[in-house]
Structure 1
């Protein structure tokens, strides 16, 4: 039995404890920021992604954000936002947003665990995998829009149907 499976036997399992165990099992670099938050780095094909998972007991939601740095020229921001919208039209779990002040492209997802529901290792692995897969899939399109002066519609043609990485 794996450590993650051992932890699942505990009815009072804190979601961030489970994330920490999974990060350790995957040998991802991580930092337990607070009792309710963990930050980690996950290597993809295009780059290393920064992930933060945070547990909000007040609304019983496990939030995930996956970011990568992106600082497009100001004159390309309208097209970057258009590309973000086009990407979001193609995904069903989570969504992209661009944080201009922080110069970060962000993938966000919230898992509701209301009523005392718990997340299992497979569910958390799936959350993380979806974040990395989506970032890997659309990273080239964002780069083409920002730096190659391609139109968002044209750049979306490069977005792979499915990306494979080391998440």
Structure 2
């Protein structure tokens, strides 16, 4: 049962693509509408600049957030990259990494099912974007170790996920 308070909390919600565009603009990130149901921006991360794209499927009330770290996997590295994808995905609670079959482009994808009203809150939009950037930043070094450092998938993941101990 909805209360007056929960209705008021939803008063600032917006169509998903519009809310993402507003969030991107508020952060000073460039906004480009690809279509009425798709928006994109570029967001600086710790290692690289990420292309972030929101795609809305109204008939399913699903918002798909894509984050592309500008990593292309050459054919010669497909096997270790796929092994790393599987190992990385085991570490994720939300979303997953994938390789697009066209061009070997690495992508982080997360789909969010929205309610019957199909609206997205600012806090949910921020959480989706923050999570995508955080996960891409966390695993970016592992992909670089596989692609450029000739490490095995396990060694690359272990090296990338080393947590610093103690204080500096």
> Fold-level match, TM-score > 0.5?
yes
- Higher deviation after alignment, 65-74 or 32-41: 65-74
Aligned partners of 1:71, 1:55: CA distance in 2, in Å? 25
**In the alignment, which residue of structure 2 is the partner of 1:28?**
29
Q: Contact (CA 8 Å) 1:61, 1:114: kept in 2 or not?
A: no
TM-score normalised by structure 1 residue count: 0.85
User: Deviation per CA, 1:72-126, whole angstroms, max 9, x where unpaired?
Assistant: 3422210000000000000010000012423311000110014225321111111
**In the alignment, which residue of structure 2 is the partner of 1:108?**
109
User: Deviation per CA, 1:46-80, whole angstroms, max 9, x where unpaired?
Assistant: 11100110111110101111112223342221000
Following superposition of structure 1 onto structure 2, how do residues 10-89 of structure 1 map, counting pairs within 5 Å?
A: 13-89=14-90
- Higher deviation after alignment, 93-102 or 70-79: 70-79
Aligned-pair CA distance for 1:149: 1.1
- Corresponding residue SS for 1:55: strand
Gaps of 5+ in 2: 1-9, 164-168
User: Deviation per CA, 1:23-56, whole angstroms, max 9, x where unpaired?
Assistant: 1100011102222110110001111100110111
Q: Contact (CA 8 Å) 1:72, 1:147: kept in 2 or not?
A: no
C-alpha RMSD over aligned residues: 1.9
Q: Contact (CA 8 Å) 1:45, 1:136: kept in 2 or not?
A: yes
Extract structure 1 runs of 4+ deviating beyond 6 A.
none
Aligned-pair CA distance for 1:10: 5.1
Does 2:154 match 1:160? Answer: no
Gaps of 5+ in 1: 1-7, 163-167
**In the alignment, which residue of structure 2 is the partner of 1:9?**
11
Aligned partners of 1:71, 1:50: CA distance in 2, in Å? 14
TM-score normalised by structure 2 residue count: 0.85
